[in-house]
Amino acid sequence: MSSAPTTPSIDEAAVPGAQAHSHGPGSPVPVQTRSERFASAAHSDFPEVTGRELEWRLTPVAAVRDLIDDELDGSPFPAIVSEADGVTCEWIDRTDARIGTAGLAEERAAANAWSRFEKALSVTLTTEEPVVVTIDRTGADSTPRAAHTIITAKPNARGLVIIDNRGSARLSENVEVVAEAGSDLTVVSLQEWDDESVHLSSQFGRVDRDAHLKHVVVSLGGSVVRVNPSVHLSGAGADGQLLGLYFADAGQHLEQRVYVHHIAPHTISRVTYKGALNGQGARTVWVGDVLIGRLATGTDSYEQNRNLVLSDGTRADSIPNLEIETGDIAGAGHASATGRFDDEHLFYLRSRGIDEQEARRLVVQGFLIDVVQKIGNAELEARLVAAIERELEAVEVV
């Protein structure tokens, strides 16, 4: 595999800024352009992390230092993949051509994982008959580990893949998601780790012509959890829906840096991330970059992040970012809001006899539920509703 700096290996001709690091002085492209970010599979290509970098300044770097710098155990991360017709699952070599087709590490911890993993877990959906696959990862131990996963939907294949993370782990990983032409793929990365767990996950999506990718990040458990999805809408008519749901308790750091790159014309993206924060030191970060490339005419995008603050002593960062390189778009917008309970909501419910605790529970559930309901799988939705209930039990009336 090449370790040279390169952009994700999408149809080069269609990638604005494909000449990433070679544009000379006088280029009209601003250096901040998201697609020009340095990318490499090699750990050594990235400078030491100080914690002041844009990429890291909101992350508790000291708590993830080993994942950024140290040798990682690259043996296969324990996973049980459910069997189903139309699904193939295999551990593939580092040299396999499928690796690196959806993206490449853009920061040092991801590159560390990319440099160390021994085999990648590849799950491939092949049939039009919708399938549900669970990658059950009940964790390992506190050894710092590296992992690499590739999820592929072949042309016109349909299905849902759940990466179900529980137990304890110190994990840096890369996940590649490829939705080939006409496919309809949902990938849910569910973090219900134990309290001590640390998890850094870069997730790269590539959505080909007329394919739909629904990518969902649900982060509830873990000490530091940073899941960064970047989705490249590389084929005309591609559609990316990026959903996120997080609930940070006292002392928990939950971060998500979302990137949607509209490369091809007539692509659609919808980003909806919602979070709740409760307890001293509950901390969340959401960064949402949307780049509408030069060739991405007639695209439609909207991104939003909303945070509900349930107690004092929390901090939520919410940073939307929209770059547009073409004048011809159908729509582009973003919204970001972080707030407390709406007193009028609570008053209305309580005026009907519902006590304060219950009223808050209803309002928080109601706030988060629309993301849950967009997942489109009843069993998983019910499980998430129950998980949110459990999170809410810890919320005190103030």
CA distance 293 to 360: 42
Q: Looking at beta carbons only, is 91 or 347 nearer to other proteins? A: 347
Q: Looking at beta carbons only, is 70 or 389 nearer to other proteins? A: 389
Q: Does 91 bind other proteins (CB under 8 A)?
A: no
Cβ neighbors of 373 (< 8 A, separation 6 or more) are 381
- Closest CB 355 distance from other proteins, rounded Å: 5
CA distance 324 to 8: 19
**Cα 63 off chain centre by:** 20
SS3 at position 382:
helix
Q: In the chain, count of helices (H) and strands (E)?
A: 5, 18
Q: Looking at beta carbons only, is 309 or 359 nearer to other proteins? A: 359
Q: Looking at beta carbons only, is 138 or 357 nearer to other proteins? A: 357
Which H or E run includes 369? helix 356-373
Q: Looking at beta carbons only, is 344 or 379 nearer to other proteins? A: 344
- Closest CB 353 distance from other proteins, rounded Å: 4
- Closest CB 343 distance from other proteins, rounded Å: 7
- Closest CB 310 distance from other proteins, rounded Å: 15
- Closest CB 289 distance from other proteins, rounded Å: 26
- Closest CB 222 distance from other proteins, rounded Å: 25
CA distance 158 to 33: 33
Q: Looking at beta carbons only, is 243 or 263 nearer to other proteins? A: 243
CB atoms inside a 10 Å sphere around CB 77: 22
Size of the site for other proteins (CB under 8 A): 23
Please answer whether residues 329 and 292 qualify as being in contact, where contact means their C-beta atoms are separated by less than 8 angstroms: yes
SS3 at position 98:
coil
Instruction: Please give the C-alpha separations between residue 132 and each of 81, 124, 162, 188, 244, in angstroms, as whole numbers.
Output: 11, 12, 8, 11, 20
Q: Looking at beta carbons only, is 93 or 344 nearer to other proteins? A: 344
Q: Looking at beta carbons only, is 333 or 366 nearer to other proteins? A: 366
- Closest CB 369 distance from other proteins, rounded Å: 4
* Nearest in space to 248 (alpha carbons), one of 163, 315, 335: 315
- Closest CB 12 distance from other proteins, rounded Å: 44
- List 296's β-bridge partners, or say none: none
CA distance 307 to 315: 10
Q: Looking at beta carbons only, is 315 or 350 nearer to other proteins? A: 350
- Closest CB 363 distance from other proteins, rounded Å: 7
Q: Looking at beta carbons only, is 38 or 302 nearer to other proteins? A: 302
Between 356-373 and 343-350, two packed helices, what is the crossing angle to 10 degrees?
120
Residues 335 to 394: which contact other proteins by CB under 8 A?
A: 343-345, 347-356, 358-359, 362-363, 365-370
User: What strands lie across the sheet with 80-81, from one edge to the other?
Assistant: 80-81, 131-137, 158-167, 184-193, 212-221, 239-248, 268-277, 300-309, 331-339
* Nearest in space to 284 (alpha carbons), one of 322, 334, 244, 247: 247
* Nearest in space to 230 (alpha carbons), one of 256, 200, 199, 248: 256
- Closest CB 112 distance from other proteins, rounded Å: 40
Site residues (vs other proteins, CB under 8 A):
343-345, 347-356, 358-359, 362-363, 365-370
